[in-house]
Amino acid sequence: MPAITLTTLQSLKQKGEKITMLTCYDATFSHVCNQAGVEVLLVGDSLGMVLQGHDSTLPVTTRDMAYHVASVKRGNQDALILADLPFMANATTEQTLNNSAQLMQAGAHMVKVEGAVWLAESIRLLAERGIPVCAHMGLTPQTVNVLGGYKVQGRNETQARQMRADAIALEQAGAAMLLLECVPSELAKEITHAVKIPVIGIGAGSDTDGQVLVLHDMLGLSLTGRVPKFVKNFMTGQPDIQSAISAYVAEVKAVSFPGTEHGFSA
């Protein structure tokens, strides 16, 4: 397939074709995901849990992220590489710019930042300097200690109204994509229709412009044995990993995944 760019993703949203995204941390899986047609590879700070064995994403550093971005780049052919700014890497605008530059120089095409409307100034500065940004809203794992655990966000009307307003404000600040994690399906649908940029969901229903899962989750691999409600094991009934990832792509494109059982209500 031709190289995936932000223009490609915008076109998919306009056509109503779902965007596929998976986390990826190394060259081998980068190659396999490319072969399956995955459009966006997310080098997530989830690597702190699934690769490093931590109980949260907080210990992950920018140096860790840059190492895995470079690894993914070496196996990549056509996918867009999205990289997380890890915990406290965007505490100030200077840190945000410096750490984002490191990830882009390692091979990322776009960075992802967790938060809400307070991110607007940093997003504006990054966009002005040629660094595309995905804003991660809803359940933001880096703030799990403030949220009181891994809980669905936006279930009451006050939270939902604020999240809708924040999404619009971040688009206006220059965000090129949104990622909504663990928000009620109906709210995710409203936000997807309220903004012109692509919206990717995880635990956010089937009406977002695309889907993302943690690679290890969708392959049935878990250190803890706890499987989030929004996860489906795509290895079931498949002969190999390549087939499982291809099945994920096919089901997202056909809008058969996620099902209603993978989403949340208000």
Q: Active-site positions?
A: 181
Number of alpha carbons in the 13 Å side-chain half-sphere of residue 121: 7
Prior bond of 258 cis (ω within 30°): yes
β-strands 40-43, 177-181: how paired?
Answer: unpaired
Annotated binding site for Mg(2+): 45, 84, 114
List alpha helices for the chain, DSSP H.
6-15, 27-36, 47-50, 62-75, 93-106, 120-128, 144-147, 157-173, 185-194, 215-218, 241-253
Closest C-alpha among 100, 103, 97, 52 to residue 73: 103
Annotated binding site: 45-46, 84, 112, 114
Q: What DSSP character marks residue 57?
A: S
Distance CA 177, CA 197 (A): 5
CA 261 to chain centre: 20
Annotated binding site for 3-methyl-2-oxobutanoate: 45-46, 84, 112
